[in-house]
Amino acid sequence: MWGADYRRYGRNLHLFVWISLLRYCFHSALSPFFARLFLHVSVWLRSSS
């Protein structure tokens, strides 16, 4: 029960971190680089899970 709550919280925290990172990156000068990096990481995460 606690483990399920922790997993759900962890997933929400993960989403929040990614969204804030994206918001920061897309407003910075390096946004194309970060967009490419984010794409690679999200594809890698999806394939590894």
Each domain of the chain, given as residue ranges in start order, spans: 2-48
Helices (H), ranges, 1-49: 2-26, 31-48
At residue 18, the pLDDT reads: 87
Q: CA gyration radius for the chain?
A: 13
Task: Answer whether 35's CB lies under 8 Å from 26's CB.
Answer: yes
pTM over 0.95: no
Q: In degrees to the nearest 10, what's the CA dihedral of 40, 14, 47, 23?
A: -30
Model pLDDT for residues 1-49, shown as the tens digit of each residue: 567 777 777 788 888 888 888 787 667 666 677 788 889 998 998 998 7
